[in-house]
Structure 1
Amino acid sequence: MSPAALGVTFDDTVLEQTVRSELGAVEDLLHRSVRSDDEFVAGAASYLIDAGGKRFRPMLTVLASHFGDSSRPEIAAAAVVCEITHLATLYHDDVMDEAAVRRGSPSANARWDNTVAILTGDFLFSRASNILADLGPWAVRLQARTFERLVIGQISETRGPGATQDPIQHYLGVLADKTGSLIATAAEFGAHFAGVAEPVVESLRVFGERIGVAFQISDDILDIASESAESGKTPGTDLREGVATLPVLYALRSPSADAARLGVLVAKPIVDDAELAEALRLLRGSAAIDEARATLRSYADEARATLADLPEVPARAALEALTEIVIARTG
């Protein structure tokens, strides 16, 4: 996946060529890292890698490294750790969500079964741990803390908000843990292993978490507002899986009859095509999409603000452009 495929623009052609080359090396290492002598395991482990993906996390690792010495070999390894971890969570997520499709293809649990999907995710976690062992105790500790947040985020999403908890704030907290934490770690890995000064590392870590939440909100919006599978999923996938994303939560706050009807529809996973079409119509006709876009802009603006005091290197301009792309992709 090239930076251009994500919409990232480069004013500096040298940076663009370098990043393309570095991401190519990451992609090669990613494929090598999941090989196995067991043909079945190898096929299952590479299934989602071969299906493609944005490679958003490796790109942030690489761009963050350009605030320092981007030639260090640990950077590609750390980028692979983040992507393998992300892929492993997808195998597990699809089992929990009973998802039938991932990246336009049958999910691993649909292709095989839940047991194979869960164990393949575990296999990928083991491969990430093996790479981490060579990166040293600091990297192992950061990964452990990140994994803790991933698990807490999943548990929090599964349990739902407490009786006195605001559902929207609960959901944003889930996004910070489930999505933002690993993207923050991807940026932190790149900066740390490039020898960047600690204040810059911290700014890039915060940028990663904020832009990660923003990116997930943009996916939430696309899943409802788009007429095509722009988000990598069929529109309405979250509704079919019974996931109340940010636009849904905003819509449910309304005292209108439409909101009441929507509440009935989304009280459980929507399996009926007519009911799905009705829910999408109600959401698209509400103010919820605009409210979600405003929240998206808020997170993207916060991400951009963390870059203000960083060195004016070409990578900073690329990250600034990324915040604009995350906003623009939802229309």
Structure 2
Amino acid sequence: MTNAHRTFAPSESDLGAFIAERLLEVENFLDVAVTQASRLPNESSHHLLNAGGKRARPVLVLLAAQFGDPTRPEVVKAAAAVELTHLATLYHDDVMDDAPVRRGATAAHLVWTNSVAILTGDVLFARASVLSSELGPRAVLLQSETFERLVLGQLAEFSGPEDGTDPVEHYLTVLADKTGSLIAAAVEFGLLTSGAPEDLVPIMREYGEKVGVAFQLADDIIDLTSTGDASGKTPGTDLREGVVTLPVLYVREAAEAGDSAAAEVVELLDSDLSSDEALEAARSALAAHPVTERVRAEALRWADEAIAALDTLPAGEVKDGLVDFARQSVSRVG
């Protein structure tokens, strides 16, 4: 790795403070970006933004930008565009999953209606596209290709695997499109807008894709094992809505292979889960089955592969930050 790949941060010891300061700029930028003149779109657009969130994707934009000039104003704009895209998907996902809670707040479709929630997501996608257009043709292409993968991933999840397709492989492809694509776009936006060396793009994209899958596999476990207060969503939501997750796929495989305990779990999963008691019985049974530990191990494996993709990057606080991000994406599940 050449000297061209050194970070541009004021100094490595100041990196954490630098990122925190830039995140405040991103937060202010987001507030302005979603503001609308009319009351309804203004309130609905601010709904999830004001509910908080980890801002994981903006952090990745800012971290990746350390390989170029992270002080460029375009970096903040890119971080905001990525977060707006993510927020838009949450509005749409909650309608499709009929989720009651998001980030500890009542889901937008329950505050208003499905139509308002969907249109709000559309508005946020549009705002993200406007911001990307201000970053140049390559940013527009990156935003468009990412948007396409997000939608195709959602459609693939909805349609399920085609005949003869391995359900697990199909599911991992869905995760790569629905989650990995935007995280990979985040790091690429950081490189692009900071003027970082071009040869970093494939390295960081591989990292982002794999971190995204690890992150979502961890969410699969969190849906089964966490409390609503900790996760910001109602535990078992995926089960109640029939959303296929890796623990469900694994337990069905085990049942088909003759695992009697897995067969009992499948029977619970296939029952009427409309009551809280039935949902809790299915959730706790699946969480207690060894397949959940198997998914945890799979999430860790994807995180390890993401970290391995960074092997050729120079040692330092930026690389350490990327490694920590990958580890934290799965540390949420122990």
Same fold by TM-score, threshold 0.5 exceeded? yes
Q: Is the contact made by 2:101 and 2:232 (CA closer than 8 Å) also made in structure 1?
A: no
State the one-letter code of the partner of 2:281. E
TM value normalised by structure 1: 0.93
SS at match of 2:134: helix
Quote the Cα distance in structure 1 between the aligned partners of 2:279 and 2:101: 17
Counterpart position of 1:315: 318
| Structure-to-structure mapping, 1:156-175, within 5 angstroms | 156-175=156-175
Quote the Cα distance in structure 2 between the aligned partners of 1:58 and 1:268: 41
TM value normalised by structure 2: 0.92
1:289: how far off? 1.3
Q: Is the contact made by 2:265 and 2:285 (CA closer than 8 Å) also made in structure 1?
A: yes
1:269: how far off? 7.2
1:240: how far off? 1.8
Label 1:192 to 1:247 Cα distance change in 2 as closer, same or farther (>3 A).
same
Q: Is the contact made by 2:135 and 2:193 (CA closer than 8 Å) also made in structure 1?
A: no
Q: Is the contact made by 1:203 and 1:306 (CA closer than 8 Å) also made in structure 2?
A: yes
Quote the Cα distance in structure 1 between the aligned partners of 2:20 and 2:42: 26
Structure 2: unaligned runs, 5 residues or longer: 1-10
Counterpart position of 1:242: 242
Label 1:283 to 1:188 Cα distance change in 2 as closer, same or farther (>3 A).
same
State the one-letter code of the partner of 1:16. G
Quote the Cα distance in structure 1 between the aligned partners of 2:15 and 2:36: 34
Matched residue count: 321
1:52: how far off? 0.8
State the one-letter code of the partner of 2:314. P
1:12: how far off? 4.9
Range with bigger deviation, 140-149 or 280-289? 280-289
Quote the Cα distance in structure 2 between the aligned partners of 1:50 and 1:327: 25
Quote the Cα distance in structure 2 between the aligned partners of 1:101 and 1:111: 10
Quote the Cα distance in structure 1 between the aligned partners of 2:225 and 2:181: 26
Counterpart position of 2:77: 77
Q: Is the contact made by 1:244 and 1:266 (CA closer than 8 Å) also made in structure 2?
A: no
Counterpart position of 1:326: 329
Alpha-carbon RMSD: 1.6
Q: Is the contact made by 1:258 and 1:282 (CA closer than 8 Å) also made in structure 2?
A: no
1:186: how far off? 0.5
Q: Is the contact made by 2:133 and 2:140 (CA closer than 8 Å) also made in structure 1?
A: yes
Quote the Cα distance in structure 2 between the aligned partners of 1:313 and 1:36: 42
Q: Cα deviations across residues 168-212 of structure 1 (Å, max 9, x unaligned)? A: 111111000000001100010001211111221221121111111
Q: Cα deviations across residues 47-86 of structure 1 (Å, max 9, x unaligned)? A: 0000111111100000000112101111111111111011
Structure 1: unaligned runs, 5 residues or longer: 1-10
Matched, 1:138 2:141: no
Quote the Cα distance in structure 2 between the aligned partners of 1:207 and 1:269: 40
Q: Is the contact made by 1:154 and 1:178 (CA closer than 8 Å) also made in structure 2?
A: yes
Counterpart position of 1:220: 220
Quote the Cα distance in structure 2 between the aligned partners of 1:327 and 1:127: 31
SS at match of 2:205: helix
Q: Is the contact made by 2:67 and 2:197 (CA closer than 8 Å) also made in structure 1?
A: no
SS at match of 1:196: coil
Counterpart position of 2:37: 37
The partner residue of 1:270 within 270, 273, 277 is 273
Percent identical across equivalent pairs?
47
1:227: how far off? 4.3
Counterpart position of 2:3: none
Quote the Cα distance in structure 1 between the aligned partners of 2:201 and 2:95: 35
Label 1:212 to 1:220 Cα distance change in 2 as closer, same or farther (>3 A).
same
Quote the Cα distance in structure 2 between the aligned partners of 1:129 and 1:281: 42
Counterpart position of 1:261: 264
SS at match of 2:81: helix
Q: Is the contact made by 1:225 and 1:289 (CA closer than 8 Å) also made in structure 2?
A: no
SS at match of 2:231: coil
Counterpart position of 1:205: 205
Matched, 1:289 2:266: no
Q: Cα deviations across residues 135-183 of structure 1 (Å, max 9, x unaligned)? A: 1110001111111100110000000112211111111110000000011
Counterpart position of 1:114: 114
SS at match of 1:253: helix
SS at match of 2:301: helix
Quote the Cα distance in structure 2 between the aligned partners of 1:118 and 1:222: 26
1:123: how far off? 1.0
Quote the Cα distance in structure 1 between the aligned partners of 2:99 and 2:165: 28
